[in-house]
Amino acid sequence: MATGYEYEDAAAAANYDEQSGSHRQDLGYDPNFVPDSVKSFVVHLYRHIREKNVYEIHQMYETSFQTLSERLFKETPWPSVDAVAHYVDNDHVFCLLYREMWFRHLYARLSPTLKQRIDSWDNYCSLFQVVLHGVVNMQLPNQWLWDMVDEFVYQFQSFCQYRAKMKNKTEQEIAFLRQHDQAWNVYGVLNFLQALVEKSMIIQILEQEKEGLEQFTATDGYDYSGGSNVLKVLGYFSMVGLLRVHCLLGDYHTGLKCLLPIDISQQGVYTSVIGSHITTIYHYGFANLMLRRYVDAIREFNKILLYIYKTKQYHHKSPQYEQILKKNEQMYALLAICLSLCPQVKLVEETVNSQLREKYGEKMIRMQRYDDEAFAIYDELFSYACPKFITPSAPSFEEPLVNYNQDAYRLQLKLFLYEVKQQQLLSGVRTFLKVYSTISLAKLASYMEVDEPTLRTILMTYKHKTHAVDSEGKIISNADVDFYIDDDMIHVVESKPLKRYGDYFLRQIVKLEGVINDMDRIKLE
């Protein structure tokens, strides 16, 4: 168990705080000072990695590292890699892994300097080069491997946002940016992720699994025959990383194409880590929303929100808990947008629907009006729930220096609101089509106060806006009410919702169990 070596003892940790607290304040952070508990941590972690003891590595990574960070390094970085290297035989790969954790802690707790951002990029380059071109004979927990890809993309996004704020940059910072213009280059980031996908042969492995020739998903990506899971699982998670990067760039079609080898309608390795599961569905749903594939977005948002609703209490002590709650709220906002543009409530479970109505019920009613207030709500929800879009190109270093970190977001917001405005006429059409099973063009034109040619244009727009092209190039319908025209008569085809009884009976069973438990507690005299 990991508990035996989380600390040498609690007193040692407390003693370190007492002795070094004033030392920190007087002399600042000493990167070469290694507390006994950290020595113990790196020695045991190194041993477990060499022994491929995935369970113990996971315990140390998830629990011990977080506990030590909270106790000893709440406002400072961990000791430098040079200070701990001799405790682990100066092992090159372990030192790269330690630095990866070191930088992740720095980003989470402090504000990295420009040099530290560049150093982190160099470390990722070295680490991925070893994985791609070296022999990595170790097994690491899926959580750690996911965090590597997730943090790699996050730091790329963070660097692009930082670099885009040119207004207050000093001459030294600008000179440093010019000197290291290849650091966090978008092509470099995409090339590393794509190289991991290709070198791992994960796409072929997933294809073979469908034919029963591989056991990748069944073993959660781990290799129980003594091999390594690192390259394969990094390649797998890199497909999710590529989806995320392309969403940040506004290239939704390419993003979804990168995710195609993973069947998100099934359980998979991506669902074995809660952060990976949420990130995958959030970006998948958002990309489909922007491509007008509302039904796909609604279906997946519904599934993940129901899953979070049922399981979030189990992640209460997880370091990712706050992020889970934030993404949960963002996805409810995106679901509200989807259902306002494509009212397919029948696709949403009752539990999710009741939560949605509680959070956004009033706003969703106002969003149906398509007036200035409605557009303001669409703007608000999109701005709250969208990814932090980036401009990947290097800035102009010439005067005057300006901030352009919001440019990509403004462009995506403009495109989204333009789409919303195009849907304005459709709400009126949908209202009338829901009332009638058949209606003449002339009658509908008089109701809508337009002439027949204009009505035909509106109906063609409705057809266009309620259909989209899926990833296989097929035209799919998002319409809750469809129609066809025959001899100037509109014939309405309304999709019939499937009646679901399961949820109702499950809730009644839970209520009954509660009543039985209450009755069992009553003592009869």
Give the per-residue pLDDT at 296: 92
Give the per-residue pLDDT at 381: 96
Residue 77: CB atoms within 10 A of its CB come to: 17
Give the per-residue pLDDT at 185: 93
Q: What's the per-residue H, E or C state across 64-98?
A: HHHHHHHHHCCCCCCCCHHHHHHHHCCCHHHHHHH
CATH topology of domain 417-494: Arc Repressor Mutant, subunit A (1.10.10)
Four-CA torsion 68, 70, 76, 77, nearest 10 degrees = 50
Percent of residues, the chain, with pLDDT higher than 90: 53
Is there a contact between 249 and 349 (Cβ–Cβ < 8 Å)?
no
pLDDT in tens, 378-411: 999 999 999 999 999 887 777 677 888 899 999 9
pLDDT in tens, 60-116: 999 999 999 999 999 999 999 999 999 999 999 999 999 999 999 999 999 999 999
Helix (H, G, I), strand (E, B) or coil at 397: coil
Beta bridge partners of residue 484, listed in sequence order: 491
Q: Which of 141, 323, 150, 158 is nearest to 239 (CA)?
A: 150
Residue 177: CB atoms within 10 A of its CB come to: 19
Q: What is the mean pLDDT of residues 358-366?
A: 91
Q: Which of 309, 285, 269 is nearest to 387 (CA)?
A: 285
Token readout for 440 is 């003449």
Domain ranges of the chain: 417-494, 496-524
Q: What is the mean pLDDT of residues 266-273?
A: 91
pLDDT in tens, 210-234: 888 888 888 888 888 878 899 999 9
Give the integer Cα–Cα distance in Å for 465 and 461: 6
Mean of all residue pLDDT scores within the chain: 86
Contacts of 351 (CB under 8 A, 6+ apart): 306, 309, 503
Give the integer Cα–Cα distance in Å for 144 and 127: 14
Contacts of 306 (CB under 8 A, 6+ apart): 349, 351, 352
Question: Model-level pTM greater than 0.75?
Answer: yes
Burial zone of 497 (CB within 10 Å; 0-12 exposed, 13-18 middle, 19+ buried) = exposed
Helices (H) and strands (E) in the chain, counts: 23, 5
Q: Give yes or no for residue 13 having a pLDDT over 70.
A: no
Residue 364: CB atoms within 10 A of its CB come to: 19
Supply the angle between the helices 142-164 and 114-133 in degrees, to the nearest 10: 140
Q: What is the mean pLDDT of residues 431-454?
A: 82
The more confident residue out of 300 and 490 is 300
Residue 485 has φ and ψ, to the nearest 5°, of -110, 130
Q: What is the mean pLDDT of residues 327-353?
A: 91
Q: Give yes or no for residue 18 having a pLDDT over 60.
A: no
To the nearest 5 percent, what fractions of the chain are helix, strand and coil? 65, 5, 30
Buried b (16+ CB within 10 A) or exposed e, 32-56: eebbebbebbbebbbebbeebebeb
Give the per-residue pLDDT at 499: 60
Q: 266-274: long-range contacts (C-beta < 8 A, 24 or more apart)?
A: 267/217, 268/217, 269/142, 269/216, 269/217, 269/220, 269/221, 269/233, 269/236, 270/236, 270/237, 270/240, 272/142, 272/220, 272/221, 273/142, 273/143, 273/146, 274/311, 274/315, 274/318, 274/320, 274/324
Say how many CA atoms lie within 13 Å of 384 toward its Cβ. 18
Quick one: how far is CA 36 from the chain centroid? 37
Q: Give yes or no for residue 26 having a pLDDT over 60.
A: no
Contacts of 189 (CB under 8 A, 6+ apart): 152, 153, 156, 245
Highest mean pLDDT among 19-28, 327-336, 388-397: 327-336
Give the integer Cα–Cα distance in Å for 437 and 439: 7
Give the per-residue pLDDT at 46: 95
pLDDT in tens, 142-182: 999 999 999 999 999 999 999 988 888 888 888 899 898 89
The more confident residue out of 427 and 297 is 297
**Measuring CA to CA, how many Å separate 33 from each of 11, 20, 145, 164?**
18, 10, 28, 36
Give the integer Cα–Cα distance in Å for 405 and 412: 13
